[in-house]
Amino acid sequence: MSLFFRISIAIVFFFGSGYAFSQQLLSKRTTLYTVVGTSGAKLNQFDQMLEDRGLTGLRNRYRTLGLGYQSRINDFVIGLELYHNRGANSDLDGFKLGYRTSRVLLNVGYAFTEESKFQLIHYMSLGMGYLNFQMLPSERPSSLEEFLADPKQGFIIRENDIQKGSKYYGNFLTEIGFHMTYDFDLPGRREALSIIAKAGYAFSPFEGKWELNGMSFDNAQSGAFLRLGAGISIPDRNFFYKDASIGLHLISGVHFTSPDTFNEVLEEAGYDPLDGRPSNLGIKIKGESERMLYGVDVYNLAMNGSASETQSHSLNSLRVYGNLGYKVIQYKNFGFGALAGLGFGNIRYTLAQRNKPDFPELFERRKFDGYLRNSGLMGKPEVFLEYGIPMTKRKLVDLVFTASAGYELALANYRLGELDMASYMSAPYLTFGIGVRP
């Protein structure tokens, strides 16, 4: 493993940074893609604890759903990927045992092939992650009042808890692998349909960083993977600066809503309310071709605080949108346009005990935490302003500043128990971003 890691670094950085930029910069490509896959992962210490009690260990694979962006300039490749990984649930005494992780990774790579319909890329990634492990009843409370009266359903333990917000991502994670694509031309379009395959190995480079309640969960972040997917690519043969491009933006802002009705229920049950308004942090991938716009938004809204002297709570909502739109004005470096988005949203309320014992006592006692959740469709209209600054004399990349305003509309009830949270989910928002556009 150590030798493979060193060889990968040598290939990526020696060839990628040395050879690629020693040539004249003549070719470029950008890609927006999504992948699904599977990976091996085994919770060694936890499975051993189960076996000592005559129980079967957890299943050693998890499913992956991911979103990625990649830009290639000559043979040098850089990109960003966001993954959600969910392990299979196991049943035990009326409880469900399961874990999930998510990761955001920056990729750097080197292409072994010339720019063409087929690409073979060797890459390495460095990023951060989140881990959730829980043991909760198979049957959840149907009433919010019932849940608040007795929230101790099971246990939930988290590392780098993004239920409190995406800024809590942490602990280094690494991947080494190969990325292969093949393009199929789309009639009448500059974009191509790219079929994607990725294979490699993911791991945590520092031992002991994923220890929870006295037990190591490092293996939950490690294992060989295989991912398959598809995306939209603008290849070199169809790449015209400013006429067609796909950009990546980091976005953050505020949503003008607050859980007032929900807070009233919390206070009636003797808990502290959630203060303030939710803010978001996420990514926007936006493609443009002859002023037609398309892309994806992913961001995470979160509120958290103290629920009582011994408990904390969080109210979290993930939003994923597919967008279509049109750029109305492009004047020099300024742009103005509008987007319409349709996507998925969820809402999750977690009420957790701050101090829980270590394993194996935690496994024996079990009842400390609980949560309620729901999900459904979301929609939004949005208008934006942008300003691009060319970063090189050849105008290979723009640094782009954006400001967006819109209104999110819940297309479902989003009930927590019997309480309708659609009014909390539906609200105007203001978002600012910074990104790159080849």
Q: What band does 17 get if pLDDT is binned at 50, 70 and 90?
A: very low
Q: What band does 20 get if pLDDT is binned at 50, 70 and 90?
A: very low
Residue 240: strand pairing partners: none
Residue 16 predicted with pLDDT over 60: no
The predicted-structure confidence for 91-142, as pLDDT tens digits, reads as follows 888 889 889 999 999 999 999 998 889 999 999 999 999 999 999 998 888 8
The predicted-structure confidence for 371-395, as pLDDT tens digits, reads as follows 999 999 999 999 999 999 998 777 7
Residue 13 predicted with pLDDT over 90: no
The predicted-structure confidence for 143-164, as pLDDT tens digits, reads as follows 899 999 999 999 999 999 999 9
Residue 232 predicted with pLDDT over 70: yes
The pLDDT of residue 349: 96
The pLDDT of residue 235: 85
Q: What band does 317 get if pLDDT is binned at 50, 70 and 90?
A: very high
Q: What is the dihedral of CA 201, 207, 212, 215, to 10 degrees?
A: 100
Residue 11 predicted with pLDDT over 80: no
The pLDDT of residue 155: 96
Q: Which residue has the tokens 């198979």?
A: 138
Residue 364 predicted with pLDDT over 60: yes
- How confident is the model over 184-210, as a mean pLDDT? 91
Q: How far apart are CA 131 and CA 157, in angstroms?
A: 8
Q: What band does 88 get if pLDDT is binned at 50, 70 and 90?
A: confident
- How confident is the model over 49-61, as a mean pLDDT? 80
* Percent of the chain surpassing pLDDT 90: 69
- How confident is the model over 310-331, as a mean pLDDT? 96
The predicted-structure confidence for 282-291, as pLDDT tens digits, reads as follows 999 999 988 8
Q: What band does 210 get if pLDDT is binned at 50, 70 and 90?
A: very high
* Percent of the chain surpassing pLDDT 70: 92
The pLDDT of residue 242: 55
Residue 295 predicted with pLDDT over 90: yes
The pLDDT of residue 15: 43
Average pLDDT, the chain: 89
Give the lowest-confidence range in 70-74, 239-243, 303-307: 239-243
- How confident is the model over 31-39, as a mean pLDDT? 93
Q: How far apart are CA 221 and CA 365, in angstroms?
A: 26
The pLDDT of residue 7: 40
pTM of the predicted protein model: 0.91
